Structure 1
Amino acid sequence: MKIEEIRSLSGEEIKKQMDGTYREMMEVRFKTATKQLQNNRELPRLKKQIARFMTVLRERTLGLR
């Protein structure tokens, strides 16, 4: 999801998406630990996605956008 798409979501929708991404990241970490993960770039992708969510929420808190 791109940053423009995230900015168009409401605060509650962003939090729901972020919760889902955290859960997905936890599953990826378990798969990594058990050597079942096929795509090694999955964890960094999820971390960046969470950072995007947090950035948009922080922008709204500060009134930047």
Structure 2
Amino acid sequence: MKQKQRLSDLTAMSKDQLQDELLKLKKEQFNLRFQKATGQLENTGRIKEVRRDIARIKTTAAAKLAEAGKA
């Protein structure tokens, strides 16, 4: 995503949607790392945002998995 994801948006997503979003962000992260290595990266702050978005998705997915385990 181009903007920071809000936690409420992530909690509204299903597990499949979270996995799709995670895959998309991982691809973006790879491309950003590649651009950085070749000296083509202009927005260096985007790497940090993507990394944090990935962490948010993983945290939300783990919480949903724990909830499903309790129920």
TM-score (norm 1): 0.93
Correspondence for 2:16: 12
Runs of 4+ in 1 over 3 A off after TM superposition: none
Question: Aligned-pair RMSD on alpha carbons?
Answer: 1.1
- Pick aligned residue for 2:7 from 3, 7, 17: 3
Q: Which runs of 5+ in 2 are unaligned?
A: none
- TM-score (ref. length: structure 2): 0.86
Instruction: Give the length in aligned residue pairs.
Output: 64
Q: Which residue of 2 aligns with 1:50?
A: 54
Structure 1 spans left out of the alignment, 5+ residues: none
